[in-house]
């Protein structure tokens, strides 16, 4: 049970409380709720983070309760927003809901799955019901939210309707009698409101499990369709692979943790390899992209997507006319008659230091196109020192680091 629970909380930003989750899960199957407002037509990898966590609960024998927020989407979740959101029409919400439900099936199992629309219980609410709901929470507590409090201090508008959103989301938990609610970490306040409302309505308060927000392709902001920094799970494999290869290096472990099935041991191995230099970021990123594409399109599609990316990018010859030329001093790059590769990489500007040059060599990140040899991609350099024939063999050689960084040695002094 302990190992199963550790898998369920792996990657979580916060669990309130893990002790409650352990105690409740030991006694019975749980009703695990996730609410998603269909405000956009695609399921992104960011959306997929809590959906994949919901699937893990399904696989552990619990019931997934997926709330399609067809009513709350018309209100607009103010979480993390610095201004009032535009309202969506019921027609736009319905069209988005139809589009995303098919994509949810790429992640969730049909077994142990309930799909509910929150218009089912929110639309029939009477004014008396609404008054009882609003009486259960104070304005002061609502203003504890960081986004509301900041807007209040800066005298930016906050509509009463926005105040209602956390309460309406909390009523979802009451309506389906949730044992656990999942959500992005920006939803923490809303999820805690649900916990409070369940207590107010005589139910056992739900456990709250939040997931980190996946950073988008721009490397700075949370992934979002309105920002254009997203990967959709229904995108073609080649497009998905290409986008994932553009993820900044410092996000590789986050994507492995939140978007793949690698698990804690595998993620730790990759993280350690990146830290000690035994694993090149490009290789780690390639594995990450391959694993994610495989999840949504299968093994064959992932292999084709990787091969296509290689054809377009990694295997592309760098034209000689695009390669800058450098003159090097013999004394800087030859030691005991042998070429010291890290020294050369530093001398021609492909490494900031000899130690960085040696790290690139050890990570198999250095190639050389020797003059008169046919291989356009160059020979992989894996040793520190090279015994050349005449020193003039170095003249005309093109040294390549990574995908597009190259320098040609044209003169020795």
Q: Are residues 130 and 151 in the same domain?
A: yes
Q: Is residue 125 part of a domain?
A: yes
Residues of the chain with pLDDT under 50: 1, 80-85
Q: Are residues 302 and 337 in the same domain?
A: no
Q: Is residue 49 part of a domain?
A: yes
pLDDT at position 122 is 95
Q: Are residues 141 and 203 in the same domain?
A: yes
- With both helix axes pointing from N to C terminus, report the angle between 160-176 and 188-200 in degrees, rounded to the nearest 10: 60
pLDDT at position 140 is 79
Q: Is residue 225 part of a domain?
A: no
Q: Is residue 393 part of a domain?
A: yes
d(C-alpha 380, C-alpha 367), whole Å: 4
Read off the pLDDT of residues 284-320 as tens digits, 9 standing for 90 and up: 999 999 999 999 999 999 999 998 888 776 555 556 6
Q: What's the token pair of residue 99?
A: 């589009």
* Structural domain count of the chain: 3
Read off the pLDDT of residues 62-72 as tens digits, 9 standing for 90 and up: 999 999 888 98
Q: Is residue 230 part of a domain?
A: no
Q: Are strands 113-117 and 379-380 parallel, antiparallel or unpaired?
A: unpaired
Q: Are residues 155 and 25 in the same domain?
A: yes
Q: Are residues 305 and 325 in the same domain?
A: no
Q: What is the CATH number of the domain that holds 41?
A: 3.40.50.620
Q: Are residues 42 and 145 in the same domain?
A: yes
Q: Is residue 228 part of a domain?
A: no
Query: Which residues are 67's β-sheet partners?
Result: 35, 116
Q: What is the CATH number of the domain that holds 343?
A: 3.10.290.10
The radius of gyration computed from the CA coordinates of the chain, to the nearest angstrom, equals 27
**Domain range spanning residue 190?**
2-214
SS (H, E, C) the chain: CHHHHHHHHCCCCEEECHHHHHHHHHHCCCEEEEEECCCCCCCEHHHHHHHHHHHHHHHCCCEEEEEECCCHHHHCCCCCCCCCCCCCCHHHHHHHHHHHHHHHCCCCCCCCEEEEECHHHHCCCCHHHHHHHHHCCCHHHHCCCHHHHHHHHCCCCCCHHHHHHHHHHHHHHHHHCCCEEEEEHHHHHHHHHHHHHHHHCCCCCCEEEEECCCECCCCCCECCHHHCCCCECCCCHHHHHHHHCCCCHHHHHHHHHHHCCCHHHHHHHHHHHHHHCCCCHHHHHHHHHHHHHHHHHCHHHHHHHHHHHHHHHHCCCCCHHHCCEEEECHHHHEECCEEEHHHHHHHCCCCCCHHHHHHHHHCCCEEEECCCCCCCCCEECCCCEECCCCHHHHCCCEEEECCCEEEEEEEEC
Respond yes or no on whether the N-terminal peptide bond of residue 225 is cis (omega within 30° of 0).
Answer: no
Q: Are residues 185 and 116 in the same domain?
A: yes
Q: Are residues 256 and 128 in the same domain?
A: no
Polymer length in residues for the chain: 413
Q: Are residues 286 and 379 in the same domain?
A: no
pLDDT at position 84 is 45
What's this model's pTM, rounded to 2 decimal places?
A: 0.72
> Domain ends where: 179, 214, 249?
214
Q: Is residue 226 part of a domain?
A: no
Q: Is residue 371 part of a domain?
A: yes
> Domain ends where: 280, 314, 348?
314
d(C-alpha 386, C-alpha 382), whole Å: 10
Q: Are residues 309 and 404 in the same domain?
A: no
> Domain ends where: 294, 314, 334?
314
Q: Are residues 161 and 192 in the same domain?
A: yes
Q: Are residues 179 and 241 in the same domain?
A: no
């Amino acid at each position: 049970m302990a190992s199963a629970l550790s898998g369920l909380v792996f990657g979580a930003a916060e669990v309130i409380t893990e002790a409650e989750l352990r105690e409740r899960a030991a006694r019975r199957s749980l009703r695990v709720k996730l609410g998603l407002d269909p405000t956009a037509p695609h399921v992104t990898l960011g959306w997929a983070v809590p959906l994949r966590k919901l699937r893990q609960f399904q696989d552990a024998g619990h019931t997934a309760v997926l709330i399609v927020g067809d009513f709350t989407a018309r209100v607009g979740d103010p979480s993390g927003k610095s201004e009032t959101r535009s309202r969506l029409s019921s027609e736009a919400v319905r069209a988005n809901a139809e589009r995303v439900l098919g994509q949810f099936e790429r992640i969730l199992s049909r077994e142990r799955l309930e799909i509910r629309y929150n218009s089912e219980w929110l639309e029939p609410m009477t004014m008396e019901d609404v008054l009882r709901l609003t009486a259960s929470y104070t304005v002061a507590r609502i203003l504890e939210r960081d986004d509301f409090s900041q807007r209040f201090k800066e005298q930016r508008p906050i509509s009463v309707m926005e105040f209602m959103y956390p309460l309406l989301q909390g009523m979802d938990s009451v309506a389906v009698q949730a044992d656990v609610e999942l959500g992005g970490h920006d939803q923490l306040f809303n999820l805690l409101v649900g916990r409070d409302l369940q207590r107010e309505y005589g139910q056992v308060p739900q456990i709250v499990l939040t997931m980190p927000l996946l950073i988008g392709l721009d490397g700075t902001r949370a992934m979002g369709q309105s920002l254009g920094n997203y990967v959709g799970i229904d995108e073609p494999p080649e497009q998905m692979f290409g986008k994932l290869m553009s993820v900044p290096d410092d996000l590789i472990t986050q994507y492995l943790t939140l978007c793949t099935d690698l698990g804690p041991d595998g993620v730790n191995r990759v993280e350690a390899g990146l830290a000690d230099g035994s694993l090149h970021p490009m290789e780690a990123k390639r594995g990450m992209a391959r694993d994610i594409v495989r999840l949504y399109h299968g093994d064959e599609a992932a292999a084709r997507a990787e091969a296509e990316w290689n054809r377009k990018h990694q295997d592309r010859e760098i034209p000689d006319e695009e390669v800058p030329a450098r003159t090097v001093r013999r004394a800087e790059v030859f030691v005991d008659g042998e070429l010291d590769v890290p020294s050369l990489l530093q001398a021609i500007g492909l490494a900031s230091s000899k130690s960085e040059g040696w790290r690139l060599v050890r990570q198999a990140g250095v190639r050389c196109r020797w003059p008169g040899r046919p291989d356009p991609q160059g020979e992989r350099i894996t040793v520190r020192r090279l015994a050349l024939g005449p020193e003039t063999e170095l003249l005309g050689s093109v040294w390549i680091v990574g995908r597009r960084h190259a320098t040609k040695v044209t003169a020795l002094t």
